[in-house]
Amino acid sequence: MGKIISVRAYANNEVAYVAWDIDGKLKDCLGFEVTRVYLDQNGAVARRPDGSEDRVKCAAWVAFKGQRNPNWIPQDTGVWPVQKLSWRDLTLRKRRDGATRRPDEVHVRYEIRPVGDLRSGLEPVPPNGKDLAWIVKRDAKKRPVIGDDGKPVRVRVKAYEGPPRPLGYLAPASVSNDVLVTSRRGAFRSTFTNGILAAQWMRNVLLEDGVIAPNELIDKLQNPDDPHRKYLAGDVLPLMHDLFSRKGKFYIALYELEDKELEDLLIANKSRIHVILSNTGLGEDKTTWDERNKPARKRLIDAGVDIQHRMFNNSVHIGHNKFVVHVPPGDGVKSVFTGSTNWTYTGVSAQTNNALLIEDDAIADAFLVYWKNMKDDALPVPRPFGKPMKDNQQSKEFRGLNETPEQIDLGGGTTVTAWFSPNMQQRKKPTSKTKQPPTPPDLADVYRLMRQAKDAVLFLAFYPGQSGKDCIIGQMVDIGLHDTSLLVSGAVSSAQAMPNYVGSKKEDGEVVEEGESPTTFETKNVSIVRASRIDDEGLLGDFGVERLTPRGSRGAIIHDKIAVIDPLSDDCHVVLGSHNLGFKASYSNDENMLIVSGNRALAEAYAVHILDVYDHYRFRAIETERKRKGQKGWSGFLDTDDGWQEGYVTRRKGNLMRYFARQT
């Protein structure tokens, strides 16, 4: 009988990723029970106030075939085990029975234990006491029944339908390494939003009253006091508030500003901030620019904020930065806040995003010099603000200042390369049917590191380039196809970004009508998926229809722009910032890009975020692709025999899991 041969755990400040490997098929194994174990300061199992050990079996929702979970009530992995060799612990911080969050700065480890049908000689899995649950009573139209007190009537029901399946342990637990749940890694504080809306818990939140109003989700996301907004924002908003609680001055460069909480934060610090605010796109009338920033821009002006209006108001350029430089009084350490998170209600709570605070003088100074260079590179201000300005663009002098990076040694093996854009003299990427456009220097630097990768390249991207061309996606595919030992995995947001996308109409090299866009691109070692949702009520067992964005099909879903190279090596690299990782960003836009090298702790934190997003959407993308092709998909229920292991045993699947499960 096979056995578990390795277990490894990784965590950032939001989720943990656990991977394990087996040396053969585990006979009669129906999956694995996954237990999170909290540790005290001495590394021993922590104790609860009642003296019991602080151990939590991870929550699970997918029932066995022959059972049903129509109310989507969680059990745990001792009832519905994990039928794969990895696990994303999504409830490490985020509870599923409420909008409160568990604390960070704690040490945990994981125990992985195989289970099968209970039989003589096996230790039984203890019952969890969750046979019954309270739910809202609903009428024939699935609307809540309201009682005399005006509140929904709640009834006690069986937690799930179908006969229970008693399980027993097939072997002792295998134990992972210890991990710290934290955002702090030396000079870095890395945070990530929880803005995945295509999720069953979000669907159930919106259906609590039996109907989803047209603007219900948007209203929640725009309300600073809404608990679900805070839940989705994770630690990003608290980190912003922490930054502005510090004494000193702030130099800010923003693309979008459309969030009451963040606008209030700026106005509350109006005497200490200096803002460069760019323009948003065309409004619904297709003639007026900056409609989304317009209310916030007026608020800042009326409050007397020091603001420079960096408004391109054309389709070639955007001022895409979202960073803050903090300069404290006296000889305190400067810091910079950067990442992919736009200062909008969707940016902080309805997309996947990352934010990074770096407390280091040299890095902050590099950003401050860039900020001052932008300020000196003033653009003609449109009057009125929404007027088109087809000739507005960055100067050649400004572009020239960005042609070389700042390189900073933080010590301990960590170096940071700071690139700024635009860094090409041409206004936009040249288009030619016979000649490849010159590769910008920042992307050439990233491509060089990717080609030196030994084990894995992981990424998340919004829309770096059409059909993966002239961006990191095309490079990754090319590298992966030529080196089949290298794992290339990631997810994109835009349908047009997929490397197998075929547009139906083009103008000046750009797709103007959407064509065919598969949701997966798969070879043996290259796996790219695009954000997808469950869109068929009867497609997958007890899963219900999900939403991708607050406004139907409009808007970004994955908004990260990150790549991680060899995260389990000391020779690792993290690429992040506002830069969309394509030629357009380097040729046309105000952008920033950081390459953090040699910091394995940070690389692992970003890798966990990528794995979280990739794995979530990969499942949905595969099912969407099968439906598109008329193929049979997954049943939506757990298998009732040990056949689910076949793909792992034959090594037909599980390459990514095995990479993270290996002992290092």
Query: 182 burial class (0-12, 13-18, 19+ CB within 10 angstroms)?
Result: middle
Residue 213 pLDDT: 72
Residue 259 pLDDT: 97
Q: Identify which of 29, 34, 129 has the alpha carbon closest to the alpha carbon of residue 77.
A: 34
Between the CA of residue 253 and those of 307, 309, 319, 338, what are the distances in Å?
Answer: 10, 10, 8, 10
Beta strands 16-22 and 4-11, pairing class: antiparallel
* Better pLDDT: 630 or 525: 525
Confidence of residue 142 (pLDDT cuts 50, 70, 90): confident
- Specify the pTM: 0.95
Residue 100 pLDDT: 76
Residue 66 pLDDT: 96
Whether residue 660 contacts residue 21, with contact meaning beta carbons closer than 8 Å, is answered with: no
pLDDT above 70: residue 552: no
List, in order, residues 6 or more apart from 192 with CB less than 8 Å away.
12, 13, 14, 234, 235, 236, 352, 353, 354, 355, 609
Token readout for 216 is 């219900």
* Better pLDDT: 150 or 242: 242
Cα(446)–Cα(541) distance, integer angstroms:
43
Confidence of residue 538 (pLDDT cuts 50, 70, 90): low
Helix axes 294-302, 260-268, angle to 10 degrees: 20
Q: Identify which of 270, 269, 293, 267 has the alpha carbon closest to the alpha carbon of residue 280.
A: 293
Residue 374: CB atoms within 10 A of its CB come to: 23
Average pLDDT over residues 466-482: 94
pLDDT above 80: residue 72: yes
Residue 308 pLDDT: 98
Average pLDDT over residues 610-634: 91
Between the CA of residue 213 and those of 34, 207, 222, what are the distances in Å?
Answer: 38, 9, 15
Q: Which residue's entry shows tokens 């585990």?
A: 26
Residue 664 pLDDT: 65
* Better pLDDT: 624 or 509: 624
Token readout for 296 is 């916030």
Residue 136 pLDDT: 86
Beta strands 75-76 and 154-158, pairing class: unpaired
Mean pLDDT of the residues in the chain: 93
Cα(368)–Cα(325) distance, integer angstroms:
6
Whether residue 126 contacts residue 74, with contact meaning beta carbons closer than 8 Å, is answered with: no
Q: Which residue's entry shows tokens 């930054």?
A: 243
Cα(535)–Cα(507) distance, integer angstroms:
32
Residue 546 pLDDT: 84
DSSP 496: G
Residue 343 pLDDT: 98
Domains recognised in the chain with CATH numbers: 4-119+175-181+634-661 (2.60.40.10), 184-623 (3.30.870.10)
Confidence of residue 341 (pLDDT cuts 50, 70, 90): very high
* Better pLDDT: 246 or 208: 246
Phi, psi angles (nearest 5°) of residue 478 = -60, -45
User: What are the start-end ranges of the E strands in 118-203?
Assistant: 123-124, 132-136, 154-158, 167-169, 174-175, 179-181, 184-185, 188-192
Token readout for 154 is 């709640």
Q: Identify which of 453, 456, 396 has the alpha carbon closest to the alpha carbon of residue 426.
A: 396
What are 96-110's pLDDT values in tens digits?
Answer: 666 678 899 999 999
Residue 138 pLDDT: 87
What are 367-398's pLDDT values in tens digits?
Answer: 999 999 999 999 999 999 999 999 999 999 99
Task: Specify the 3-state DSSP secondary structure of 565.
Answer: strand
Whether residue 185 contacts residue 27, with contact meaning beta carbons closer than 8 Å, is answered with: no
What are 482-516's pLDDT values in tens digits?
Answer: 999 999 999 999 999 999 988 765 545 454 445 56
What are 259-297's pLDDT values in tens digits?
Answer: 999 999 999 999 999 999 999 999 989 999 999 999 999
Rg (CA), the chain: 25
Q: What percent of the chain has pLDDT over 90?
A: 80
